[in-house]
Amino acid sequence: MRYIFISLFMSAVFFGVGSFGLNAQEQTQQVQTQEQAAGEQEIALADKPLEIWTFIDDYRVITGKTLHLTVQVLWKLGITVNLEGVDKIDLSPCRIEGVALGERQIFDNEHDYIVITYTLSLPSGVGEGIYSIPSFTLSYRNEVDKTEGKSTSSPVAIKKVPILVEGKVDRDVITIGDRINYALTIRHEKNVRVIWENIEKLNFSPLDILKKDIEKTTEGNIEKILINYTLSLYEFGGKKKTPEIPELTILYYKESQTQSGETKSDTSLIETREAKIDPIPIIVNSLLKAVDVPLEGLKGPLYYSKKDVFLRGYVTIGIGVALVLFLGVTALRSMAGRLSPVSPKPVSETPKIALERLQHAVASFQFTDEEKLNRTNIQDINKSLRAYIGTLLGISNELAQSVTTSDFFNYDTQKRLTDEISTTARTVLKQIDTVVYGRQIKKEMVDKILQGIEEIIKQTRPMVVKH
pLDDT digit string (tens) for 123-133? 877 888 899 99
Q: Give the rounded distance of the alpha carbon of 13 from its chain centre.
A: 20
Q: What is the pLDDT of residue 32?
A: 45
Q: Residue 341: pLDDT above 80?
A: no
**Highest-confidence segment of 193-202, 292-301, 440-449:** 193-202
Q: What is the pLDDT of residue 436?
A: 80
Report the candidate in 149, 163, 2, 138 with the shortest Cα–Cα distance to residue 71: 138
* 406 three-class SS: helix
* Residue-wise pLDDT tens digits, 376-423: 889 899 999 999 898 888 888 888 888 888 888 888 888 888 888 888
* Residue-wise pLDDT tens digits, 55-98: 888 888 888 788 899 999 999 999 999 998 888 899 988 989 89
Mean pLDDT, rounded, for 135-161 = 91
- Residue 21's pLDDT band, with cuts at 50, 70 and 90, is very low
CA distances 128 to 122, 206, 258, Å, are 11, 36, 18
More confident site: 133 or 331: 133
Looking at residue 271, its amino acid is E
- In sequence order, what are the residues at sequence separation of 6 or more whose Cβ sits closer than 8 angstroms to the Cβ of residue 428? 385, 449, 452, 453, 456
**CA pair distance 4, 273, nearest whole angstrom:** 35
- Which pTM does this prediction carry? 0.47
For the chain, the C-alpha Rg in angstroms (whole number) is: 29
Helix ranges (DSSP H) in 195-288: 196-200
More confident site: 160 or 333: 160
CA atoms within 13 A on the CB side of 238: 9
Q: What is the pLDDT of residue 140?
A: 94
Mean pLDDT, rounded, for 270-281 = 89
Render the burial of 229-252: b for 16+ CB within 10 Å, e for the rest. Answer: bebbbeeeeeeeeebbbbebebeb
Average model confidence (pLDDT) for the chain? 78
**CA pair distance 327, 321, nearest whole angstrom:** 10
Report the candidate in 227, 80, 77, 67 with the shortest Cα–Cα distance to residue 133: 67
- Residue 119's pLDDT band, with cuts at 50, 70 and 90, is very high
CB 375 within 8 A of CB 365: no
Neighbours of 358 (CB within 10 A): 21
Q: Residue 18: pLDDT above 60?
A: no
Looking at residue 463, its amino acid is M
More confident site: 121 or 268: 121
- Residue 289's pLDDT band, with cuts at 50, 70 and 90, is very low
CA atoms within 13 A on the CB side of 40: 5
Looking at residue 275, its amino acid is A
Q: What is the pLDDT of residue 328?
A: 76
* 284 three-class SS: strand
Mean pLDDT, rounded, for 418-447 = 86
Question: What are 193-196's contacts with CB under 8 Å, separation 24+?
Answer: 193/252, 193/253, 193/254, 193/255, 194/163, 194/225, 194/250, 194/251, 194/252, 195/251, 195/252, 195/253, 195/272
- In sequence order, what are the residues at sequence separation of 6 or more whose Cβ sits closer than 8 angstroms to the Cβ of residue 64? 121, 124, 187, 219, 220, 221, 222
CB 141 within 8 A of CB 84: no
